Chains A and B, each alone.
Chain A
Amino acid sequence: MAASTQKPPLNREELRDIIDLSLWAGQILLQHGAETQRVENTVHRLGTNLGCEWMDILVSPNAIVATTISGEEFRTKIRRVVGLQVDMTKVSAINRLSRRIESGELDRFGVRSELQRISQIRSHYKRWQVVLMVGLACAAFSRLFGGDAVVFGMTFVASAIATFVRQELSRRHFNMFLVVIATAFVAGLIASLPSAFDWGDDPQIALASSVLLLVPGVALINSADDIIKGHLVTGITRGISGGLVSLGIALGLSLAMEIMGVSGL
């Protein structure tokens, strides 16, 4: 590393604070659905703008490792990141925070209280609103796939109830795959009614659309994005976990279809 020292060297205390803050920001990003490139850039920008000279970052699928360097001193820290709960408000808030630090508006103490605030941001939308709108979204997909009014209605009911089930199970901290399988099962039971009783024109569309709320779209898109930008480890891991979630959806669905005695293809 070229030591073109313009910044005053920091002591160990300050370095510890900086590494803590930038890793915290990185953890919020990784946990709430940011791609790897963004995590790396943000952590680096935060650290260097808060006063350290250089920062090296390793983003792995469920941990971030970073080293801050300043003058003669360096410190390294690992931060575990568990779970993925997409929350674009937090990603956006960290982005703005990083800009404010860049313009010199915030010091270390300001950053800490901002991060505290960001990590406690609640959802903008009420739970029933999300249930309703996700139900409608899946029903809209059934229209895009060419379903008729009956299929539209049944998909709406199935996905709305499935969204509710998913919220309740996630709140009780069930295993991620169990949540997916159980939710797909519930959605499949309701969405196979049109096929079982032969309602509507193409009743199988209801089955395909009602589970779309579970499709790990963010994980899969981020996976491809990571791979394109050279972050193969995180990209492949995200791809595999997305594939496993899709398999979980298919498992829950086929269980429901077996019970209802319908075929989905």
Chain B
Amino acid sequence: MNDITNILWEVTQDMFWSSIAALGFSMLFNVPTRTLIGCVACGAIGHGSRTLAVELGATIVSGSLIGAVIIGLMGYLFAKRWHAPATVFTISGSIPLVPGRIAYSAMLSLIQLSTTDPKTGETLLVRASINGIQTMMILGVIAIGISAPTLFFERTRPIV
């Protein structure tokens, strides 16, 4: 029981901070003021559900997929509710999921490789590749996740 309360407390904090992150980036992207609350909700619930999934044993990649699918569904519903394209909600909402820290680690390791001693460069190389691949995987599942509703519900013949 204590375990569950711990996880819930963790996720609540996580949702609070990711809602602030989503708010800041939504303003940077100049989303319409009336959709701001929807963007923040997408960010908080999307990132919160990823953290919950990871706490329950998912990997960061599958957790991101779960978070992104939830963001995609929310964006799909909000688009109808607020008469704005789903992109507004899904892009701003998935910014907290973007693996900034992992990409940072990959790029920095890559740059430090240029000045490192060949004998000890192995760690850096491994770190750069692991983080680089993880970044690409997470970005890929975010894109699949947020467009999942359109891919499933709007399978019309291409008009162009």
Chain A residues with a Cβ under 8 A of chain B: 33-35, 38, 40-41, 44-45, 55-57, 86-92, 95-96, 123-125, 129-130, 133-138, 140-141, 143-145, 208-209, 211-213, 215, 217-218, 220-221, 223-225, 227-229, 246-247, 249-251, 253-254, 264-265
How many CB-defined contacts (below 8 Å) exist between A and B? 169
9 A-B contacts, Cβ less than 8 Å apart? A88-B29, A89-B30, A134-B24, A136-B23, A141-B21, A209-B101, A215-B98, A218-B29, A254-B112
Contact B98 A217 (CB under 8 A): yes
| Contact partner, B103, options A38, A135, A215, A218, Cβ 8 Å | A215
In the assembled complex, the CB of A247 is this many whole angstroms from the nearest CB of chain B, namely 6
A258 to B71, CA, bound (A): 39
Q: Which of B133-151 contact A (CB under 8 A)?
A: 139-140, 142-144, 146-147, 151
Report yes or no: A215 in contact with B147, Cβ–Cβ below 8 A: no
Q: Which B1-56 residues have C-beta < 8 A from chain A? A: 13-14, 17-18, 20-33, 35, 47
User: Given known contacts A208-B104, A250-B104, A253-B108, is B23 in contact with A137 (CB within 8 Å)?
Assistant: yes
Secondary structure of the B side of the interface? helix
B92 → chain A closest CB, angstroms: 7
Contact indicator A88/B87 (Cβ below 8 Å): yes
Among B21, B94, B109, chain A packs the most CB atoms within 10 A around the CB of B21
Give the nearest-CB partner of B132 in chain A. A243
B130 within 8 A of A: no
- Give Cα distance in the complex from A72 to B31, angstroms: 42
Closest 8 CB pairs of A and B: A137-B24, A224-B143, A250-B107, A140-B20, A133-B24, A88-B31, A140-B17, A95-B85
Query: Given A224-B143, A225-B143, A250-B108 in contact, is the A88-B88 Cβ separation under 8 Å?
Result: yes
Contact of B27 among A129, A140, A246 (CB under 8 A): A129
Asked whether A89 lies within 8 Å of B100 as measured between CB atoms, the reply is: no
A87 to B24, Cβ gap below 8 A?
no
Chain A residues whose C-beta falls within 8 Å of the C-beta of B142 in the assembled complex:
221, 224
